[in-house]
Structure 1
Amino acid sequence: MERYEQYRRVFDHFDSNGDGKICPAELRKCMTAIGGEMTAEEVVSAVAVMDSDGDGLLCLEDFVKIIEGAAEEERAGDLKEAFNMYVEDAGGCITPKSLKRMLSRLGERRSAEDCKEMIACFDLNHDGVLSFHEFEMMMSSA
């Protein structure tokens, strides 16, 4: 509930005319303030997609969905970036060798066997490597 109240405060701040709705221009100001960049066209599209009552404006619930969606998109991008740090070749998976190399760069010495065991814990299809989906599952359990 605390997070909802935070969203309410942000919503109220950007609802500059106090009508209880966020128009595309207000949404664009909000997204810029929180570090996101959206063109005028993207904002209009986002409002059109997320507008639950068809009035061309966002109510608080619509606004929360957009903000949470943007945060989730950012988390997914960060996770993909982290995954790619461990991927060594065009195969697109984390191998014991690439895991060992990255751990070594991070100052943690592990044997090849240790790395195989680490991968085996989250290797859902038992192919000896971690796909992005398996990495994502591993990170969500951490």
Structure 2
Amino acid sequence: MKIKIKEYERVLLYFDEDGDGKISASELIHRLNQMGENLLFNEAKVAVEALDSNGDGLLDLEDLIALMEEGNEEEKLKDLKEAFGMYDVDGNGFITAQGLKRMLSKLGELKSIDECRVMIKKFDLNGDGVLSFEEFRVMMQ
């Protein structure tokens, strides 16, 4: 996490033209325009207000981290759903032992049905013999 904080600090420094440790709507516009993005002042002001956690009308490091981490969480969730879909070979919203066996064999890992049942049982929180998306999510974290 320390490396990520340093990266976020660098992003903040890039946008923070006056060196006050915060990003104003005008600083946001100026830097985004330099990057080829067209952003109107009202759009920038609304964006800053939406992300501003302490109500000072500026974005600080904590706001920037929250924004970046939120994006990362959405991306992780999307990736998890894609991975779950690969294992949900029957398309029924669950990973079964048979589906797990088939997917693992496609990946070159041969397991018996019993071995797949044991794998599922470790993360089958409600004991129904299959993995729901939420159980899969817990397993992947």
* Fold in common (TM above 0.5): yes
Match of 2:4 in 1: 3
- The secondary structure found in structure 2 opposite 1:56 is coil
Note the 1:109-120 alignment, pairs <5 A.
109-120=110-121
Deviation at 1:26, TM superposition (A): 2.6
Which amino acid is the alignment partner of residue 123 of structure 1?
Answer: D
Which amino acid is the alignment partner of residue 28 of structure 2?
Answer: E
Match of 1:131 in 2: 132
Count the aligned residue pairs. 132
**Structure 2 Cα separation of the partners of residues 42 and 65 of structure 1:** 19
Which amino acid is the alignment partner of residue 98 of structure 2?
Answer: K
Q: 1:110 to 1:44 in 2, by over 3 A?
A: farther
> What are structure 1's unaligned runs of at least 5 residues?
33-38
CA RMSD of aligned residues (A): 2.7
Deviation at 1:61, TM superposition (A): 1.2
Note the 1:82-97 alignment, pairs <5 A.
82-97=83-98
Q: 1:46 to 1:120 in 2, by over 3 A?
A: farther
**Structure 2 Cα separation of the partners of residues 43 and 133 of structure 1:** 36
Deviation at 1:42, TM superposition (A): 8.3
Q: Which whole-Å deviations, capped at 9, do the CAs of 1:24-75 have from their partners, x for residues lacking one?
A: 573894xx8xxxxxx9798765533321232433111111111111112111
Which amino acid is the alignment partner of residue 59 of structure 2?
Answer: L
Q: 1:16 to 1:139 in 2, by over 3 A?
A: same
**Structure 2 Cα separation of the partners of residues 120 and 54 of structure 1:** 48
**Structure 1 Cα separation of the partners of residues 73 and 117 of structure 2:** 30
Match of 2:70 in 1: 69
The 10-residue stretch of structure 1 (105-114 or 70-79) with the greater mean CA deviation from structure 2: 70-79
- The secondary structure found in structure 2 opposite 1:121 is helix
Match of 1:122 in 2: 123
Match of 1:26 in 2: 28
Match of 2:105 in 1: 104
Q: Is the 8 A contact 1:119 1:128 kept in 2?
A: yes
Deviation at 1:12, TM superposition (A): 0.5
The structure with the larger Rg is 2
**Structure 2 Cα separation of the partners of residues 18 and 135 of structure 1:** 45
**Structure 1 Cα separation of the partners of residues 47 and 98 of structure 2:** 43
Q: Which whole-Å deviations, capped at 9, do the CAs of 1:84-129 have from their partners, x for residues lacking one?
A: 1101234201011110111011001111111111101110111010
**Structure 2 Cα separation of the partners of residues 107 and 43 of structure 1:** 50
